């Protein structure tokens, strides 16, 4: 895959009630946002080197939006987003727990190199279709996460309005829209595969370094 350039990488935390519950978190009243450096984005293919010796690494399978043009108030998702894909918001969970305890930013836990594998993108098929299509993650052949965008606490339109009006959205920005329940540990040698509507979009093998 040729090198792709993305700009701002926004991520939504706790956007599925079942996931908030499994992590022991309250359901947020407005979108919980954080960012990853664009350098975190790597193709969902081949072998991925991840930090070893930094505690547990968790997978979070997420629907990802690619923004095509600048946000303006009243813009509809269909007009702003030209393509979508699936991604992994890889998280150093033990590091994140420690950062939370200390009240520090999440960057070391969420923004390390390779922390945002992304499949090939495909044309946005309309909100209705995106909302009602299952996406899933298989680990070593077993489905460990599955979700529907219709179960998001903050739907796509709310997310783009919230992010666009406060922080801005422009061509090349990505939005990782949050993970459904089923997050779990990633180990060296694991094979991770992301599926959209039963079709394999991207796969990688983890190597710890
Ligand atoms: Zn996430």
**CA-CA distances (angstroms) from residue 39 to 2, 152, 203?**
15, 27, 19
178: left (phi over 0), alpha (psi -120 to 50) or beta: left
The pair of three-digit structure tokens given for residue 52, joined into one six-digit string = 């070893």
Question: Does position 159 have pLDDT exceeding 90, yes or no?
Answer: yes
Whole-number Å distance, alpha carbon 63 to ligand 1 midpoint, is 10
Question: Does position 157 have pLDDT exceeding 70, yes or no?
Answer: yes
pLDDT of residue 15: 96
Q: Answer whether 50's CB lies under 8 Å from 209's CB.
A: yes
Q: Answer whether 17's CB lies under 8 Å from 97's CB.
A: no
Question: Does position 52 have pLDDT exceeding 80, yes or no?
Answer: yes
Whole-number Å distance, alpha carbon 179 to ligand 1 midpoint, is 5
Question: Does position 2 have pLDDT exceeding 60, yes or no?
Answer: no
CA distance linking residue 5 with residue 74, whole number of Å: 27
Whole-number Å distance, alpha carbon 73 to ligand 1 midpoint, is 26
Whole-number Å distance, alpha carbon 95 to ligand 1 midpoint, is 15
Parallel/antiparallel/unpaired status of strands 32-36 and 91-92: unpaired
Q: Which residues surround ligand 1, an ion (CB under 5 A)?
A: 60, 89, 179
What's the longest Cα–Cα distance across the chain? 46
Global pTM value: 0.96
Whole-number Å distance, alpha carbon 13 to ligand 1 midpoint, is 5
Report DSSP state, residue 151. Answer: G
The pair of three-digit structure tokens given for residue 54, joined into one six-digit string = 């930094």
pLDDT in tens, 73-112: 999 999 999 999 999 999 999 999 999 999 999 999 999 9
Average pLDDT, the chain: 96
pLDDT in tens, 165-193: 999 999 999 999 999 999 999 999 999 99
CA distance linking residue 112 with residue 94, whole number of Å: 14
Whole-number Å distance, alpha carbon 71 to ligand 1 midpoint, is 23
**CA-CA distances (angstroms) from residue 178 to 34, 52, 141, 152, 208?**
11, 24, 23, 8, 25
The pair of three-digit structure tokens given for residue 85, joined into one six-digit string = 């894909």
Closest Cα partner for 91 from 105, 103, 109, 78?
A: 109
Q: Answer whether 60's CB lies under 8 Å from 91's CB.
A: yes
């Amino acid at each position: 895959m040729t090198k792709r350039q993305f700009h701002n990488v926004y991520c939504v935390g706790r956007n599925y009630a079942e996931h908030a519950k499994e992590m022991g978190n309250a359901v947020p009243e407005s979108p919980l946002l954080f960012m990853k450096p664009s350098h975190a984005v790597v193709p969902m293919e081949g072998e991925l080197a991840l930090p070893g010796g930094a505690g547990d690494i968790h997978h979070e399978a997420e629907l990802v939006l690619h923004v095509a043009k600048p946000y303006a108030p009243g813009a509809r998702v269909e007009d702003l987003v030209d393509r979508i894909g699936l991604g992994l918001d890889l998280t150093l969970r033990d590091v994140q727990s420690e950062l939370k305890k200390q009240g520090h930013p999440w960057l070391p836990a969420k923004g390390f190199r390779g922390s945002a594998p992304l499949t090939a993108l495909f044309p946005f098929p309309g909100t209705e279709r995106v909302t009602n299509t299952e996406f899933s993650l298989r680990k070593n052949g077993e489905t460990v996460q599955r979700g529907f965008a219709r179960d998001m606490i903050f739907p796509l339109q709310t997310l783009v309005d919230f992010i666009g009006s406060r922080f801005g959205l422009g061509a090349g920005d990505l939005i990782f829209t949050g993970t459904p329940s089923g997050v779990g540990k990633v180990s060296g040698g694991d094979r991770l595969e992301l599926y959209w509507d039963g079709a394999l979009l991207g796969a990688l093998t983890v190597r710890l370094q």
